Amino acid sequence: MPGPLSGYKVLSFCRALSGPFTTMLLCDLGAEVIKIEDPKGGDRTRFVTPQINDVSTYFLSVNRGKKSITLNLKDERAKKIVFDLVTKVDVLVENFRPGVMARLGFDYETIRKHNPKIIYTSISGFGQTGPYAKKPAYDMLAQGMGGIVSITGPEDPKAPPVRVGASIGDTTASFFGAMSTLAALLEREKTGEGQMIDVAMLDSQVALCENAIARYFATGAIPRPAGSRHPLVAPFQIFPTKDDYLVVIASNDDLWKNFCTAADKPEWVSDARYGNREGRLAHHAQLEKDMNTVMRSKTSAQWTKLFEAHKVMCGPVNNIEQVTKDPQVNARNMFYEVDHPKAGKHKLVGTPMKFSRTTCETKKAAPELGADNQEVLSSVLGLSEEEIETLRKEKVI
């Protein structure tokens, strides 16, 4: 079966990560994504290293399954092509700084005149309104300003702030962008009307800090980094073993009793400091020291066998190579291979979205720059080969 968004068309004015990741999610769901790029090089992530046969792995990873057309948007004929495409698509996604699409002549009010039903999704650093709206933004700015960095990293107050390892400043906005787009499409089924969606990277990071912010509002205390531990329960963190590290979770009293049995520490169950959830949290620093001593006595494999036998939640701290070889991850088809005309066969990360009836994965590699000019202009807009060749010769495409 085709994907759940099969039949929907998306016009993408996206580059870098937040926008392309959004449209990748829509593409994974079955939508046809037409990516508009500048004929002079296209999306700048095409040149990011590392590369496979001069093709950027960054670009390959977030543009899989899409179609690429090149348009010189300074040419009025290219702008007409955009407006013609707008009448044929359901969604437009862009992640320029606010004001850029208006300067190009493709702001929401202009676009909706050509297609009142269009869903127009804008992703930007700070949103379309507010005092920061026109400022540029990157992932690290959003992470830093949104609070997530202030609660990430070592517990040592002298330690410098630490960026989250993945680009969640970009991708969290992508998730909200894709979800909002789907909600708007669903709402359109009821009303027949399109609308504009305004998603900000900063807003998205603030949303991720919901628990920390709720605690601040309730107590007035500013949350700080807690290392690998959870700020509200203990033990709920990473511990060193004889040969590696292990995640151990004994977040309620029953799990704690199971842990104490497995660790041969029955006295900890009746210890006034550790016997209940509140006590363990209040004495988390000493608890961590005591548990570190115990956990270092056995290897991760030995602890895992013991914990599984005693129903204690635990798991390894996998590096990226170990993740790619994990049997559960592979059983869930989280990696697949595609073939690119230049890069050849290469593996990509699959989608975590699993549907019982409609498939939800893309088997097509990222497109070469302008690879789909002929198909899109002829099949979608009905241009003749002669017209397309003229546009190519005159550097409109």
Write out the catalytic residue numbers.
170
Sign for the CA dihedral angle at 32, 37, 43, 47 comes to positive
CA dist 179 → 121, 166, 184 (Å): 11, 20, 9
Q: CA-based Rg of the chain, rounded to a whole angstrom? A: 25
Distance between CA atoms of 186 and 8, rounded to whole angstroms? Answer: 12
Distance between CA atoms of 256 and 146, rounded to whole angstroms? Answer: 34
**Tokens found for residue 292:** 């570190």
| DSSP SS3 for 268 | helix
185 close to 91: Cβ distance less than 8 angstroms: yes
Calculate helix-pair angle for 201-208, 210-219, nearest 10 degrees. Answer: 60
Q: How many CB atoms lie within 10 A of CB 188?
A: 16
Give which of 381, 349, 337 is closest to 85, Cα–Cα.
381
What does the DSSP assignment read for 175-220?
A: HHHHHHHHHHHHHHHHH---EEEEEEHHHHHHHHTHHHHHHHHHH-
* CB within 8 Å of 130: residues ≥ 6 apart: none
